[in-house]
Structure 1
C-alpha cells in the first residue's frame, strides 16, 4: 500500500450537490486484535474467516450521514507487528479520529492499547477523537481477560469513547463509527462527560441487542 497518499486533514467537497466532509481515521492495535475485520465489517459488511496480517497499512473509504452532513471516512488500517511501529506516525499524523483496538480475551493487547492511547495523546492532534475498542465480544463469555469496568474506567479517565464490539457478528461496529461521525459533524450523540460508551450487554448479544450509547 502506498504511503504517499494525501488525507492529512479534513476537507470539504460536494457529491451530487451535497456537502462532504473528508475525515482521516486510523486503526491502531496489536496484531490479531481484529483491526482489519472491524474495517471490513464497517465498509463492506463482511467478516473474513481467514485473513493475513496487514503489511504496512491498508486503505478503505466509507461515507455516512450524520446531522445532515456527509462524512467520508478515509480509513487507514495499520499493521500491528512491532516492526511496523515506526511507520505509525505517518498514518495517524493529521488524523481526526483513531480507533485503538484490543482483544477482550487477551490482557496483553489491552496493555498495548493503553500505550497507543498515550502515544496519540503525546504526538497526534490535540483534538483527535479516540475510541478504545474491545473486539471479539462474541468470545468473551468463556474467554474474557479484560473486564469491562476496567477498560471503561480507563476510557473515562482519558476522555475516550469506549466500545465493546464484535467484528464477527457486527455488534456495535456501525454504532462506534457513527458516534465518531456525529462528533465530527459537531453534534455528538450520547451521554456527555469525559468518556462516551458504546457497549452491548451480555444479554443482548444473542438477539442482536442495541447499543448503550
Structure 2
C-alpha cells in the first residue's frame, strides 16, 4: 500500500532556521549559507516508524513580515504545523503565541513547537527551555547545525501521522460496517 502524503508546514519568524531544518532532514547536512525563503517552497521525504512508512511533504514558509499574510494560504490543509523559533532570538520565542494562533486556524493540523539553534551558548538557556517545556505540550529542542533532536522530532511527526492514518482507517471500517454482515442482510431482504 502506498503511504499517504502528509503536509508538514514550517512557520516562524525570519532567520530562525526553518530552511536549515528542512535541508538537514532531507540532505542530512547543514548548509551555512542559505537565502531567505520567498513565499514558500516544499520538498518530500520518506520517514519510517517501526516498519511503517509515511511520506512527508515539508513546506517551508517565509518568515519575513511582508509575507505573513500569505502564511494561512500555505498552511491550509496541513497535517502538522511546526512553529519554529530560535533559542538565541527572544523575539522569535515571544512570537510563538502569534504563530500558534495562525496554526489553530487550520483545523486539520496539530501544532508542534520547535526551538532551533540549541547548540549556541545562550545565557539562561536551561531556564528558557524549562519554561517553554512547561508551557507547551509538543515541544522539541533541536540544532540544525549538529542534528541534535532531529531523530526524536521527525520520529514523533511521522508517528503522529501514522497514528492519524490508523484512526482514519478504523473510522472508515466502522462506517462501512462488516461486509459479511451486509451480504447476509442483502440475502434476507428479498421481495418474496
For the aligned residue pairs, the C-alpha RMSD in angstroms reads 1.8
**Greater RCO, CA 8 A, separation 6+:** 2
SS class of match (2:68) = helix
The correspondence for 1:169, drawn from 146, 166, 174, is 146
Q: Give 1:1-213 correspondences, 5 Å limit.
A: 18-121=1-104, 123-125=105-107, 127-141=108-122, 144=125, 147-156=128-137, 161-186=138-163
Shift of 1:142: 5.1
Unaligned runs of 5+ residues in structure 1 are 1-17, 188-213
Please report the TM-score for the alignment, with normalisation by the length of structure 1: 0.72
Change (3 A) 1:146 1:103: farther
Report if the CA contact (8 A) 2:87-2:122 is conserved: no
**What TM-score results when the alignment is normalised by the length of structure 2?**
0.80
Aligned residues: 164
SS at match of 2:63: coil
Where structure 2 has 5 or more consecutive residues not aligned to the other structure, the ranges are: 165-192
Query: Is residue 140–residue 149 contact of structure 2 (8 Å, CA) maintained in 1?
Result: yes
Superposed structure 1 runs of 4+ greater than 3 Å apart: 140-146
Residues 169 and 21 of structure 1, relative CA distance in 2, 3 Å threshold: same
| 8 Å contact kept, 1:27–1:77 | yes
* Change over 3 Å in CA distance of 1:100–1:146 after alignment to 2: farther
State the alpha-carbon separation in 2 of the partners of residues 67 and 129 from structure 1.
Answer: 22
Contact 2:14 2:64 in 1 (8 A): yes
Shift of 1:53: 0.8
Query: Could you say which structure has the larger radius of gyration?
Result: 2
Structure having the larger proportion of residues in helix: 2
Q: Is the 8 A contact 1:67 1:185 kept in 2?
A: no
Evaluate the alpha carbon distance shift between residue 128 and residue 67 of structure 1 in structure 2; reply closer, same or farther with a 3 A threshold. farther
SS at match of 2:4: strand
The equivalent of 2:190 in structure 1 is none
Residues 88 and 122, structure 2, Cα contact 8 Å, conserved in 1: no
